[in-house]
A and B are shown apart, each in its own frame.
Chain A
Amino acid sequence: MAFTIVRRVAILVVSVLVASIVVFAFMAVLPGDPAQVALGVNATPELLAKTRHDFGLDRPVVEQYLSWMGGVLHGDFGRSYVTGEAIGPQLIDRLGVTLWLVGAGMLVAVVLAVPFGALAAVWHRRFGGTAISGLSQLGVAVPAFLAGILLVQVFAVQLRWLPSGGWTPPDQDTGEFLRGLVLPALSLGIVQGAVLTRYVRSAVLDTLGQDYLRTARSKGLRPYPALMRHGMRNAAVPVVTVLGLQLTTLLIGAVVVERVFVLPGLGSMLLDSVSARDLLSVQAIVLVLVVAVLVVNFVVDLLYVVIDPRLRTAR
């Protein structure tokens, strides 16, 4: 058990290092000069040279990477070329927005998937079950940004019930914050919910065949209540692991949804930073995203070990 965990941690650290090198290399070969973008069309050659020097762009690439990584290991992500601000606090601020979005999207997914998945399983021989399965197939095929655009058209532009975008911090105005979160969370959650529905359905189908449920049914309970009272916990085990895996998909989906709904999260910061060639910001964000994905996978791996004792011997 302990050895397994140590091995997983080692893999995690190596993955993060490799990812950081890849990100740095990609940004280094992108065409465009960060100093020129920061200074605009009126820059004199002298000023350009000075700015490049200030940014450290005139140093060898390896040296640039090492000094950046050294800073990151101390928790210092450097200062943005474009805004001149420290990147670290900005990252934390933006990450907060993205996490709210991912959390809300997850909630929507679960709220949709659990009852519908269970119903699809209970009704698996009837039309209702087929219909739910069909709908979930459809939901899986709709990209989050398209769902977002459609939702905005209907609920914001036509009905004017909800804002079409923008962000109100929860501590500023909770009502406005919740209303602003509804459509982005739905865009993200509907797709994920559709995926999850199918997992829930098969997990519940498995459970329905178990003896204890037959016992419950023989006591006169109808299938759905019987399932809710006795079967859901067992069905939850495989579903929870899938949820973990889906977190990473949600994180990537959030980048796109943030653009559609103008949310000041990590995703929109990433896109802005790329177009402004704000290399340090891009590197920092991508690193955070990569680390988040790797950490989630790491936790899911550990959960497997915790849930299933057979995995505890190192393979």
Chain B
Amino acid sequence: MKVRISAALALLLVVSACSAGSTASVSSGPDTLAVGFTAEPANFDFTRTDGTAIPQALLYNVYEGLVKLDPTGKIVPLLARSWTVSDDRRTYDFQLQPGVKFSNGAPFTADDVRFSIDRVKTDWTISIKSKMDVVDHVEVVDPLHARVVLKKPSNGWLFDMTGRVGAMFSPTGVADLANTPVGTGPYHVQSRRRGDSIVLAANPAYWGKPPAYKTVILKYIKDPTALNNALLSNGIDVIAQITAPDSIPQFENDTRFTVLQGTTNGEVVLSFNGRKAPFDDVRVRRALILAVDRKALLDTAWAGRGTVLGSMVPPTDPWYEDLSGYYPHDPAQAKALLAEAGQSNLSFTLRVANLPYATAAAQVVASDLADIGVHVTIEPLDFPAVWLKQVFTDHDFDASIVQHVEARDITTFGNPKYYWGYDNPRVRQLIADADAGTPEQQVADMREVARTITADAAANWLFLYPNVVVAKKKVTGLAANQVSESFDLTGLG
């Protein structure tokens, strides 16, 4: 017995000694990269399953569209080498890359463009399929020339083509999208272990520049501490996005790592239920914004990383302008406005998503508002399940805090049915004009939308969620900004 125990212990020691000094890591070898994420895709079919996790893994890496977003937020060619827009802005002529093949060997031609765009209308079930409603029809001019005709001019359509709905599929590759994605990208899905990882392998027949890493392992680690530990112990090479700021200094102070900080499309919004009194009174909304010190809030909620906002526009959008000074922190004026509106004894409930950034922000909001005599009760709601039901669907709330991650979601202020119940015909008109006009008009009109909702105090845009990427020094070419739905592996060195 004694001998056997010693043997077992010896074996243990040998096993751990083998690894001492070497890396305890899956990414063995220079051709392999392991990236850690928190949100795991439920399956591989983003035509029927919503959420950010699937496009984050697959878009630009496995699936490609005609166009893509570069790290600065510009629309650049991908499967379309070039394109022209007609004078009435309704017809787009795309000249396609020659020699492109899907990962199953099928060639990519204009027929596939028509198939993919039509399929959004017929087979997709998630609601962003509506982004293709504006398409009238697709013509195959020749195998390398696809013509898309819109029902009405739409700048938003081309932008949407850089995302999920623009992904190109082959009729020969849509039989089992949930498990077997078939795209034209530099990688194809090699294997997956649910609850653990997805392995992407380089596609040897890729038409473009071969990717730097032959194998990329996407590791899914829900717990932020475990995710940090995985990088610290060499289990992974990159953390795609840090979710809690308190761990960042330890990476910054460690010479093994590079820390990149940029922007996202994630506005953390303190929304008011505009359908209810007193939040239908612009003076009350303005008072509630003036009372909150957003700079101090950002320091508390996200260690000062991130961007203080003044409207629902991130700096990577072409119509961004800094409106963060529009409502300075001014408790005295806030008090005066509340008195003017007859709401000096205001008390309300703040229903926030039970996520770290939201609960931390809620504490600051509550204490700032207490200073002007407003009593706030914080009610954390289980996110997503309960928050979606109570706040988002049933509109059963006074005010709420949650992050809105979608690109260009300022257009939600043009939807009166949206949960914050903002209804302004002028904003609706401006959004429509921006979509139909030239790119210059679009910028001018959207800028006007942003100014209008700010002047209207439609919501309190607390801050823009930062994108903090941590990687081992050897990993180069990571983008600091997260502008698209994709964690783009193609630029890595």
Q: Taking the complex as formed, is B386 at the interface, i.e. its CB lies under 8 A from any CB of chain A?
A: yes
Q: Is the CB of B196 within 8 A of A152?
A: no
Residues of A within 8 A of B128 (CB): 42
With beta carbons under 8 angstroms apart, the residue of B5, B50, B233 that contacts A157 is B233
Q: Is the CB of B127 within 8 A of A43?
A: yes
A262 to B230, CA, bound (A): 10
Residues of B within 8 A of A43 (CB): 50, 126-127
Q: Is the CB of B16 within 8 A of A40?
A: no
Q: Is the CB of A83 within 8 A of B42?
A: yes
Q: Taking the complex as formed, is B333 at the interface, i.e. its CB lies under 8 A from any CB of chain A?
A: no
With beta carbons under 8 angstroms apart, the residue of A47, A94, A169 that contacts B125 is A47
Q: Taking the complex as formed, is B235 at the interface, i.e. its CB lies under 8 A from any CB of chain A?
A: yes
Which single residue of chain A is at the shortest CB-CB distance from B384? A37
Q: Taking the complex as formed, is B26 at the interface, i.e. its CB lies under 8 A from any CB of chain A?
A: yes
Which single residue of chain B is at the shortest CB-CB distance from A36? B388
Q: Is the CB of A42 within 8 A of B1?
A: no
Q: Contacts A85-B43, A175-B15, A272-B222; is A37 near B388 (CB within 8 Å)?
A: yes
Which single residue of chain A is at the shortest CB-CB distance from B231? A164
Which single residue of chain A is at the shortest CB-CB distance from B223? A259
Q: Taking the complex as formed, is A232 at the interface, i.e. its CB lies under 8 A from any CB of chain B?
A: yes
Q: Contacts A31-B389, A160-B233; is A166 near B196 (CB within 8 Å)?
A: yes
Q: Name A126-183 residues within 8 Å CB distance of B.
A: 149, 152-153, 155-157, 159-169, 175-176, 178-179, 182
Q: Is the CB of B15 within 8 A of A36?
A: no
List, sorted by A's number, 11 A–B pairs whose CB atoms are closer than 8 Å: A39-B126, A43-B126, A47-B125, A90-B194, A111-B5, A111-B9, A156-B229, A163-B233, A164-B233, A182-B16, A276-B42
0/1 string, B47-60, CB within 8 A of A gives 1: 01111000000000
Q: Name A249-299 residues within 8 Å CB distance of B.
A: 259-265, 268-269, 272, 275-277
Q: Is the CB of B389 within 8 A of A32?
A: yes
Q: Taking the complex as formed, is B2 at the interface, i.e. its CB lies under 8 A from any CB of chain A?
A: yes
Q: Is the CB of B226 within 8 A of A164?
A: yes
Q: Is the CB of B24 within 8 A of A165?
A: no
Q: Contacts A47-B127, A162-B16, A182-B16; is A156 near B233 (CB within 8 Å)?
A: yes
Q: Taking the complex as formed, is A228 at the interface, i.e. its CB lies under 8 A from any CB of chain B?
A: yes
Q: Is the CB of A114 within 8 A of B1?
A: yes
Residues of A within 8 A of B389 (CB): 31-33, 36
Q: Contacts A32-B388, A175-B15, A264-B194; is A40 near B1 (CB within 8 Å)?
A: no
Which single residue of chain B is at the shortest CB-CB distance from A160? B233
Which single residue of chain A is at the shortest CB-CB distance from B382? A32
Residues of A within 8 A of B225 (CB): 149
Residues of A within 8 A of B222 (CB): 259, 262, 268, 272
Residues of A within 8 A of B175 (CB): none
Q: Taking the complex as formed, is B195 at the interface, i.e. its CB lies under 8 A from any CB of chain A?
A: yes
Residues of B within 8 A of A265 (CB): 195
A270 to B225, CA, bound (A): 20
Q: Is the CB of A182 within 8 A of B384?
A: no
Q: Taking the complex as formed, is A300 at the interface, i.e. its CB lies under 8 A from any CB of chain B?
A: no
Additional 5 contacts, C-beta under 8 A, given A33-B393, A40-B50, A167-B193: A36-B385, A38-B49, A85-B43, A156-B235, A259-B222
Q: Is the CB of B226 within 8 A of A165?
A: yes
Residues of A within 8 A of B49 (CB): 38, 82, 84
Q: Is the CB of B226 within 8 A of A41?
A: no
Residues of A within 8 A of B230 (CB): 163-166, 262
With beta carbons under 8 angstroms apart, the residue of B16, B42, B219 that contacts A179 is B16
Q: Taking the complex as formed, is A115 at the interface, i.e. its CB lies under 8 A from any CB of chain B?
A: yes
Residues of A within 8 A of B140 (CB): none
Q: Is the CB of A115 within 8 A of B2?
A: yes
Q: Is the CB of A84 within 8 A of B384?
A: no
How many whole Å from A75's CB to the nearest CB in chain B? 20
How many whole Å from B472's CB to the nearest CB in chain A? 13
Q: Contacts A39-B127, A179-B16; is A260 near B388 (CB within 8 Å)?
A: no
* B residues whose Cβ falls under 8 Å from a Cβ of A: 1-2, 5, 8-9, 12, 15-20, 23-26, 40, 42-43, 45, 48-51, 125-128, 178, 193-197, 219, 221-223, 225-226, 229-230, 232-235, 382, 384-386, 388-390, 392-393
How many whole Å from B356's CB to the nearest CB in chain A? 15
Q: Is the CB of B19 within 8 A of A41?
A: no
Which single residue of chain B is at the shortest CB-CB distance from A278? B42
A40 to B51, CA, bound (A): 6
Q: Is the CB of A31 within 8 A of B25?
A: no
How many whole Å from A173's CB to the nearest CB in chain B? 9
Residues of B within 8 A of A178 (CB): 15
Among A83, A168, A265, find the residue whose CB has the most chain B CB atoms closer than 10 A: A83
Residues of A within 8 A of B19 (CB): 161-162, 179
Q: Is the CB of B24 within 8 A of A161?
A: yes
Residues of A within 8 A of B51 (CB): 40
How many whole Å from B413's CB to the nearest CB in chain A? 15
With beta carbons under 8 angstroms apart, the residue of B12, B17, B43, B393 that contacts A84 is B43
Q: Is the CB of B388 within 8 A of A160?
A: no
Q: Name A220-261 residues within 8 Å CB distance of B.
A: 228, 232, 259-261
Which single residue of chain B is at the shortest CB-CB distance from A178? B15
Residues of B within 8 A of A37 (CB): 384-385, 388
With beta carbons under 8 angstroms apart, the residue of A31, A160, A169, A262 that contacts B226 is A262
A31 to B382, CA, bound (A): 9
A260 to B226, CA, bound (A): 7
How many whole Å from B269's CB to the nearest CB in chain A? 13
Q: Taking the complex as formed, is A44 at the interface, i.e. its CB lies under 8 A from any CB of chain B?
A: yes
Residues of B within 8 A of A38 (CB): 49
Q: Is the CB of A36 within 8 A of B233?
A: no
Q: Contacts A84-B43, A111-B5, A228-B1; is A41 near B392 (CB within 8 Å)?
A: yes
Q: Contacts A42-B128, A47-B125, A179-B19; is A84 near B385 (CB within 8 Å)?
A: no
Q: Contacts A39-B126, A165-B230, A262-B226; is A159 near B20 (CB within 8 Å)?
A: yes
A263 to B220, CA, bound (A): 10
Q: Is the CB of A261 within 8 A of B43?
A: no
Q: Is the CB of B126 within 8 A of A262?
A: no
Q: Is the CB of A152 within 8 A of B229?
A: yes
Which single residue of chain A is at the shortest CB-CB distance from B24? A163
Which single residue of chain A is at the shortest CB-CB distance from B393? A36
Q: Is the CB of A155 within 8 A of B16?
A: yes
Residues of A within 8 A of B233 (CB): 152, 156-157, 160, 162-164
A264 to B246, CA, bound (A): 27
Q: Is the CB of A111 within 8 A of B219?
A: no
Among A163, A276, A277, find the residue whose CB has the most chain B CB atoms closer than 10 A: A163
Which single residue of chain A is at the shortest CB-CB distance from B236? A166
A31 to B385, CA, bound (A): 7
Q: Is the CB of A164 within 8 A of B196?
A: no
How many whole Å from A116's CB to the nearest CB in chain B? 10
In order of increasing CB-CB distance, the 6 nearest A-B pairs are A32-B385, A264-B195, A40-B50, A42-B127, A156-B233, A164-B229
How many whole Å from B113's CB to the nearest CB in chain A? 24
Q: Is the CB of B195 within 8 A of A164?
A: no
Q: Is the CB of A42 within 8 A of B16?
A: no
A265 to B196, CA, bound (A): 10
Which single residue of chain B is at the shortest CB-CB distance from A110? B5
How many whole Å from A207's CB to the nearest CB in chain B? 15
